[in-house]
Amino acid sequence: MVFVLDRRHRPLQPCAPARARKLLASGRAVVHRHTPFVIRLKDREVASSQVDGVEVGIDPGSKFTGIAVFRAEKADDDIVRTGLFGIEVRHRGGQIRDRLTARAALRRGRRSRNLRYRAPRYANRRRPQGWLAPSLRHRVDNTMSWVQRLCRWAPVARLHVERVAFDTQLLQNPDISGVEYQHGTLHGYEVREYLLAKHGRKCAYCGAVGVPLNIDHIVPRSRGGSDRVSNLTLACIPCNQTKDANTFLADRPAVLARIRRQQKLPLRDAAAVSTTRWALWHALVATGLSVQVATGGRTKWNRHRTGAPKAHTLDALHVGVLTTVRSCPRQVLVATATGRGSYARTRADQYGFPRLRLPRTKTIRGFQTGDLVRAVVPTGKNTGRHEGRVAVRTTGRFNIRTRHTLVQSVHHRYVHLLQRADGWAYTREEERRFHPAPNDRVSTPHT
């Protein structure tokens, strides 16, 4: 899919790549942006075009956020989605957290040294309402940045987002009676998604991954075990059959202790998503678009019914209420947050002393580190065509990080600018394909 703008930079309905090539070849369109690829028509406006609109699904995560652009068609009671474009946003919240921790350690050491007296300042810091840690705010800002970009490039009519990962009331008391939702179709999917996140999608007994996993009772029900989540774990089929109702772990206290420790470990990634979910929802509502919310269990249930594999962009495609998915994008754009560099012009060693100094200016020969460039080198050891992010040098010989390798010492006269640095590194990955049944009707669960 290719994004299309009119002559006044307003979004039109996206088109197929073949259609975009014809428009560019005939001179009716020009390239507006290289990655993601956006064209601009020179003889068309929104008022004279038919714009059906698209919808955007968002699957927020701690390390990765999946975003899918799709077209939704409603016939009778069926809602059919056609995937058009997928983006996997890779956050750097972990790097921000580590750098803040290192800075705090340096400041703590400086305060503890026998230096001049400094008045205590711990009582003069106030955090505003709704404050989030920088590593968490980074995730919200990244997601909103891409939503706003998509709204500039495509006629987005509706947003779908996962606001909660698990239904905690349902997890703690699954035996509630008299409430239809507690015994609805999604009940088992909420529990399964929680256990998969808790145990890293592997068998708790043998550590097998990539195999079918069953929900197992640590203390069998025949021996007084309960159905609470604290007594549930994941087991592969051989381990589950071997354990059965016997004292499977009586002679393996180390394994039992490891499982107990895993049960008590906090869900750090899930906690980060839970902390930012309301901030993200409020930011999406502030865009003025219609925002539909759903749970992670509902997304997993949708994927199970359509037969889609586990992937961030496919999760985003399956967020919310749908009947089936007709197709998914062939490629996924992977956008990795890299930042825009640093104001510091020195680099320190492990003891804090400066070991080198950077140039006072960031622009060298018209290029900056992080720009997307294409280099066509005619001779030498780097002969060939190279495309990627550039790292500039004052000598005029740059390094180019391509998708597969690092090309060093490329002369600036062979380098051509494709797109200015915007704080992201782009690659493309093939999406795992699936073929949903064309007549598979998904019944709506009780909600």
Q: Are 182 and 264 in the same domain?
A: yes
Instruction: Say what the pTM is.
Output: 0.76
Same domain, 65 and 196: yes
Q: Do 47 and 6 share a structural domain? A: yes
- Residue 100 CA to chain centroid, in angstroms? 22
The 3-state DSSP class for residue 192 equals helix
**Are 291 and 226 in the same domain?**
yes
42 and 92 housed in the same domain:
no
Among residues 313, 337, 361, which one ends one of the domains?
337
Q: Is residue 128 part of a domain?
A: no
CATH of the domain at 365: 2.30.30
The residue among 310, 337, 364 that closes a domain is: 337
Q: How large a percentage of the chain has pLDDT more than 70?
A: 84
- Radius of gyration, alpha carbons of the chain: 26
Which pLDDT belongs to residue 443?
40
**Residue 206 belongs to domain spanning:** 52-101+135-337
CA distance 183 to 181: 5
Answer whether residue 139 is part of any domain: yes
Strands 38-41 vs 2-5: parallel, antiparallel or unpaired:
parallel
Amino acid identity of residue 406, one-letter, is: L
Give which of 332, 293, 396 is closest to 59, Cα–Cα. Answer: 293
* Residue 384 shares a structural domain with residue 285: no
C-alpha dihedral sign at 413, 418, 420, 426:
negative
Report the distance separating Cα 360 and Cα 362, nearest Å.
7
Q: Report helix, strand or coil for 92.
A: coil
Beta bridge partners of 57: 68, 160
Looking at the fold, whether 68 and 172 belong to one and the same domain comes out as yes
> Could you identify the residue written with the tokens 């609109």?
53
Query: Does residue 16 lie in a domain region?
Result: yes
pLDDT digits (tens, 9 = 90+) for 62-110: 899 999 999 999 887 889 999 999 999 999 998 999 989 988 888 787 7
Tokens, residue 161:
């987002």
Same domain membership, residue 364 and residue 259? no
Q: List, in order, residues 6 or more apart from 324 with CB less than 8 Å away.
A: 78, 80, 81, 305, 306, 436, 437, 438, 440, 441, 442
Query: Residue 2 has what pLDDT?
Result: 95
| Cβ atoms 28, 42 nearer than 8 A | yes
| Burial bucket for residue 37 (CB in 10 Å: 0-12, 13-18, 19+) | middle
Contact 321, 331 (CB under 8 A): no
> What's the full length of the chain, in residues?
447
Residue 122 resides in a domain = no
Q: What is the pLDDT, as a whole number, of residue 238?
A: 87
End residue of a domain, out of 309, 337, 365: 337
Contacts of 271 (CB under 8 A, 6+ apart): none
Measured between alpha carbons, how far is 129 from 124 in angstroms, rounded to an integer?
Answer: 16
* Phi, then psi, of 92 in degrees rounded to 5: -125, 35
Q: Does residue 446 fall inside a structural domain?
A: no
Matching residue, tokens 């720009």: 371
pLDDT tens track, the chain, 447 positions = 999 999 999 999 999 999 999 999 999 999 999 999 999 999 988 877 788 899 999 999 889 999 999 999 988 788 999 999 999 999 999 899 998 998 888 878 777 777 666 666 666 677 888 889 999 999 999 999 999 999 999 999 999 998 865 554 444 444 444 443 344 445 556 677 778 877 788 888 888 888 888 888 887 877 777 777 777 888 888 888 877 666 566 667 777 777 777 766 656 777 788 788 889 999 999 999 999 999 888 888 899 888 888 889 999 999 998 989 998 888 899 999 998 888 888 888 877 788 888 888 889 999 999 999 999 999 999 999 999 999 999 999 999 999 889 999 999 999 999 999 999 999 888 866 666 654 444 444 433
In this structure, the answer to whether residues 3 and 56 fall within a common structural domain is no
Instruction: Please count the structural domains in the chain.
Output: 3
**Does residue 154 lie within any of the structural domains?**
yes
**All residues at 6 or more sequence positions from 352 whose CB lies less than 8 Å from its CB, including other chains:** 106
Same domain, 247 and 361: no
pLDDT of res. 274:
78
pLDDT of the residue at 365: 93
- Identify the DSSP state of 309: P
205 shares its domain with 281: yes
Strand segments, DSSP code E, in 121-230 are 156-164, 213-217
Do 43 and 62 belong together in one domain? no
Note whether residue 118 is domain-resident. Answer: no
Single out the residue of 312, 314, 318, 272 nearest to residue 298, CA to CA: 318
Residue 433 lies in a domain: no
